[in-house]
Structure 1
């Protein structure tokens, strides 16, 4: 009788296989998630960086940023996803069943690749309203960001707050939970104007950088 090539699991216990090696987001992440930027027209609907339509309620804003690695080098291959509430403070998700107006013309989620030349990522959206935290206390207006890029095994989760919401920021349960004020500042975007449009800007740093830039606060989600 020929013996089986491996012992039976019932005789020697469960068969264990080695773990698949981890891999960071490489060049194919853009082809799969942002094909238009990579020069491919493969999806009927592309999930881009524009979350609004002409009918969307709220203050129109742009959010821009750059991402730097630990050496201070600008990363031009970053893919960023954004998730936020609408201008009234409600998420476009069935899990948000609060008695707050839904805006059917606002998607609430977007995806943007950093420009391959400048390294700048950009979203066109509206300023979000306040939403309650776990304790029920209102959070300051913010958007959630997730980063994918080389050297990152698991998407990095962070937040972006707004510099002109200082009073709300001072009472935000997440910001106030960050021990050092200088670390809180890594999440505050700066309001500006360009060609008559409101632009909030924030640089994200994966680690402290040689130029004195502080590592951005990331969250274990």
Structure 2
């Protein structure tokens, strides 16, 4: 028997989307839900070109700061809030998630974190997903005290803060280049 090496890594190919999107994936909550917000954005590559075949996944707490997960250490009662969204980009690189604004959650030391949404991006050319966060521009006081945001150089924090836009917020994702979105090693 001959010994074989490891199979080399591959980037995500053109068939990424097969089986991943589902009809209510971008709707964390139903249309018409009181307090619903829409977060929209565009994904750009390192040259500034749109990425028409990326996949955005979001995970967040509900407005009370609880997670739709049995391991939520605070033992908050279930609200029926899914907390997870998935949206492929369209031909123009655009994506949108309909959700509720998350509440404050504690970090591992119990310090409050500003309302935020965790985001994973999968796209061609990436060997692994990249992970970032969406913070909200109208939460300036909470953002200033957030222990995770404080680890990001001040000049780069704006890449994580979504400004108000229409019926929600705008969060563009730049995978590389000028104004590259801050990504976290997890």
TM over 0.5: yes
What is the aligned partner in structure 2 of residue 146 from structure 1?
A: 120
SS in 2 for 1:110: strand
- The alignment partner of 1:32 has SS state of coil
Q: Distance in 1 between matches of 2:66 and 2:137?
A: 21
Segments of 5+ residues of structure 2 without an aligned counterpart are none
Please say if 1:109 is aligned against 2:84: yes
Aligned equivalent of 1:202: 171
TM-score of the superposed pair, with normalisation by structure 1: 0.79
1:82 CA drift (Å): 0.5
Mapped contact 1:88–1:101 kept (Cα < 8 A):
no
Checking the alignment, whether the CA contact within 8 Å between 2:46 and 2:175 is kept in structure 1 is yes
> Is 1:60 the counterpart of 2:33 in the alignment?
no
Q: CA deviation at 1:204?
A: 1.1
Runs (4+) of structure 1 exceeding 6 A deviation are none
Does 2:133 correspond to 1:159?
A: yes
Larger Cα Rg: Structure 1 or Structure 2? 1
The answer on 1:173 being equivalent to 2:177 is no
Distance, in Å, in 2 between the alignment partners of 1:119 and 1:65 is: 8
Question: RMSD of aligned C-alpha atoms?
Answer: 1.8
Separation of aligned partners in 2, 1:159 and 1:54: 24
Structure 1 residues 58-80: Cα deviation after superposition (integer angstroms, max 9, x where no partner): 62100111111111111111101
Partner Cα distance (1:49, 1:60) in 2:
13
| Residue 98, structure 1, aligned to residue 74, structure 2 | yes
| Structure having greater relative contact order (Cα 8 Å, sep ≥ 6) | 2
Establish whether residue 87 from structure 1 lines up as the match of residue 72 from structure 2: no
Residue of structure 2 in register with 1:48 after alignment:
25
Which one has a larger percent strand, Structure 1 or Structure 2?
2
